[in-house]
């Protein structure tokens, strides 16, 4: 019987050390807006003219995009089903503005790498009163329920949006 083949000994022999590739996601395009459109120039912004200044009873939408990279490992995980959960944090800035969180989640599926998660509701429905709020999105990606699953695969954070709320 012959001895085992020796390890790589020249530049013409190759091995792969990254068969499945890395798996990661991007959290991007945090959006928050009420129902009003942007005012025409040169009008002054007033509460009824800005999507970023809303009444307590006005419907608000906050959303964020989650985009996964394209590697064999990521495609496998997305096909098996990952849970994507986003907590939208409304952080009161000064005064008596409350700090409130709402969350939305979804499960991934085969063939789709980009997802948009959206929460829709009114400020009063989640206890937000008048004031200025900084808006952030905190994402957690975890495997679907399975005996071999770990708790969380990755986290993401995006912020820097403002929303002003006034009494209806």
Residues 76-86 pLDDT 10s: 999 989 999 99
Per the domain annotation, does 15 fall within a domain?
no
CA distances from 92 to 33, 95, 157 (A): 17, 8, 18
Angstrom distance (rounded) from CA 118 to CA 33 = 11
Tell me if residue 86 falls in helix, strand or coil.
Answer: strand
**pTM, entire model:** 0.83
Q: Per-residue pLDDT for 151 more than 80?
A: no
Our count of domains for the chain comes to 1
Per the domain annotation, does 5 fall within a domain?
no
Per the domain annotation, does 16 fall within a domain?
no
Per the domain annotation, does 148 fall within a domain?
yes
Phi-psi region of 82 (alpha: psi -120 to 50; beta: other; left: phi over 0): beta
CATH code of the domain covering residue 119: 2.60.40.10
Please, where are the H alpha helices in the chain? 72-80
The pLDDT score that the predictor gives to residue 11 is: 63
Angstrom distance (rounded) from CA 168 to CA 122 = 11
Mean pLDDT of the chain: 87
Per the domain annotation, does 11 fall within a domain?
no
Please, where are the H alpha helices in 34-140? 72-80
Query: Is residue 60 within 8 Å of residue 122, measured between CB atoms?
Result: yes
Phi-psi region of 74 (alpha: psi -120 to 50; beta: other; left: phi over 0): alpha
Q: Containing domain of residue 88, as a range?
A: 25-166
Per the domain annotation, does 155 fall within a domain?
yes
Per the domain annotation, does 6 fall within a domain?
no
The confidence band for 5, taking pLDDT boundaries of 50, 70 and 90, is low
Per the domain annotation, does 45 fall within a domain?
yes
What percent of the chain stands above pLDDT 70? 82
97-145: per-residue pLDDT in tens? 889 999 999 999 999 999 999 999 999 999 999 999 999 999 999 987 7
The pLDDT score that the predictor gives to residue 32 is: 96
Neighbours of 101 (CB within 10 A): 12
């Amino acid at each position: 019987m012959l001895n085992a083949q020796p390890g790589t000994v020249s530049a013409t022999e190759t091995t792969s050390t990254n068969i499945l590739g890395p798996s990661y996601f991007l959290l991007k395009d945090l959006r928050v807006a009420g129902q009003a459109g942007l005012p025409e120039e040169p009008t002054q912004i007033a509460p009824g003219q800005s999507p970023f200044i809303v009444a307590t009873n006005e419907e608000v939408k906050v959303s964020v995009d989650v985009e996964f990279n394209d590697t064999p490992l990521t495609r496998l995980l997305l096909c098996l089903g990952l849970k994507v959960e986003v907590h939208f944090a409304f952080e009161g800035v000064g005064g008596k503005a409350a700090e409130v969180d709402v969350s939305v989640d979804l499960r991934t599926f085969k063939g789709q790498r980009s997802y948009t998660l959206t929460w829709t509701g009114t400020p009063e429905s989640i206890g937000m009163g008048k004031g200025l709020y900084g808006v952030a999105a905190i994402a957690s990606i975890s495997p679907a329920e399975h005996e071999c699953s770990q708790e969380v695969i990755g986290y993401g954070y995006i912020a820097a949006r403002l929303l002003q709320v006034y009494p209806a």
